[in-house]
Amino acid sequence: MNPIYNFGIQIIQALQSMSPTLDGFMKFISFLGTIDFYLLLIPFVYWVISASLGFRVLLLLIGTDFLTLSCKQLLHQPRPYWVGDVKPLATETSYGIPSSHASDSLAVWGYLAYCLKKSWLWAVSILVVLLIGISRMYLGVHFPTDVLAGWLIGLLAIFLLVKGEAWLSPWLKRQSGARQIGIGFAVSIVFILAGWLINLLIAAFPDPPAWADYALKARGISHYLTLGGALFGTVAGYVLMRQQAAFETKGIWWQRLLRYILGMIVMLAIYLGLDVLFGMIAGDETTIGLVLRYIRYASVTFWAIFGAPWVFLKIKLAEHARNEE
């Protein structure tokens, strides 16, 4: 086995020998790095704290996840419990390096801390990012090198957003709303085509038999459709929100609370309802199933970014924005 993997397995074994009472805690910490958690966090930022910040964080998460997924498939490396003597306290069917939990958590929490500039948030963000990385090793699903690579991608994603925004944002603002939506759709198609090309490139390199059975969903383009759909819904929703439903995130506490509760109820209904409905129509990797997956995630983000603010304004849970955020 690769000496780096041997060293990583020794670290994982040491972590897992600490105490079995940590299992539940580490699984909870790991949850904080999942897409399900970000479905709870990012709408809160967008509806309650700052719409422009929430929008950028969502774009950052989508972009970071795209970079991480692309690297996972191009490198197609195993997870620790696939090849070594570690306890699989969680199971994954995608490749190991880089860790998407590590990359996404550093990108999201790091960018929030960078933008809000609160010392307490910096402390919380650093702690959460470190614990998520440790939890992934403790659970036996990532080598230390996977986590480090994920953190590097998270840092790169923040750098690209901060630097790219300075020159790209003024150009985008000069484009019409229809053109901005068209650009969002075009980029979403680029995501999908990139995924198709990556899978074509690695098709000639099958997984070793020793761990091929673990990597059941490691290949394929379904998650690229997820990211493409989420991106298009986000961009289209934000353009329309600015034109027709620009809203203030300020308000008394009960308005903000009701905004979040109502928005989440509808968003989860769309997210879970379309999953059941579309699952009855076609499988994930069929052509129809892939198209439906794109529509599902576009619908979820479109509701969060445009639909919910439009409803908030109609039922007086938010006021029309006076100034750009």
Cα(251)–Cα(275) distance, integer angstroms: 34
Most confident listed range (1-10, 209-218, 311-320) = 311-320
Q: What is the pLDDT of residue 323?
A: 61
Cα(92)–Cα(97) distance, integer angstroms: 12
HSE value, Cβ hemisphere, 13 Å, CA-based, for 177: 9
3-state helix, strand, coil in the chain (%, to 5): 75, 0, 25
Mutual angle of helices 287-302 and 253-281, in 10-degree steps = 170
Cα(317)–Cα(250) distance, integer angstroms: 10
Tokens of 138: 């403790």
Q: Please compute Rg for the chain using Cα positions.
A: 20
Helix (H, G, I), strand (E, B) or coil at 176: coil
Q: Which residue, 99, 166, 137, 129, is CA-closest to 32?
A: 129
Give the other-Cβ count within 10 Å of 226's Cβ.
24
Q: Does pLDDT of 158 surpass 90?
A: yes
Host H or E run for residue 156: helix 144-173
Helix (H, G, I), strand (E, B) or coil at 285: coil
Q: Tell me the percentage of the chain whose pLDDT exceeds 70.
A: 98
Q: How confident is the model at residue 143 (pLDDT cuts 50, 70, 90)?
A: very high
Q: Are 61 and 108 in contact (CB under 8 A)?
A: yes
Q: Which residue, 243, 230, 226, 241, is CA-closest to 307?
A: 241
Burial class (CB in 10 A: 0-12, 13-18, 19+), 78: buried
Q: How confident is the model at residue 177 (pLDDT cuts 50, 70, 90)?
A: confident
Give the amino acid at 301. Answer: T
Q: What is the pLDDT of residue 39?
A: 92
Q: How confident is the model at residue 321 (pLDDT cuts 50, 70, 90)?
A: confident
Q: What is the pLDDT of residue 324?
A: 47
The residues annotated with a catalytic role in the active site are: 101, 142
Q: Give the predicted TM-score (pTM) of the model.
A: 0.93
Q: How confident is the model at residue 4 (pLDDT cuts 50, 70, 90)?
A: confident
Q: Are 247 and 319 in contact (CB under 8 A)?
A: yes
Q: Tell me the percentage of the chain whose pLDDT exceeds 90.
A: 70
User: Of the ranges 101-115, 190-204, 311-325, which one carries the lowest mean pLDDT score?
Assistant: 311-325
Q: Does pLDDT of 111 surpass 90?
A: yes
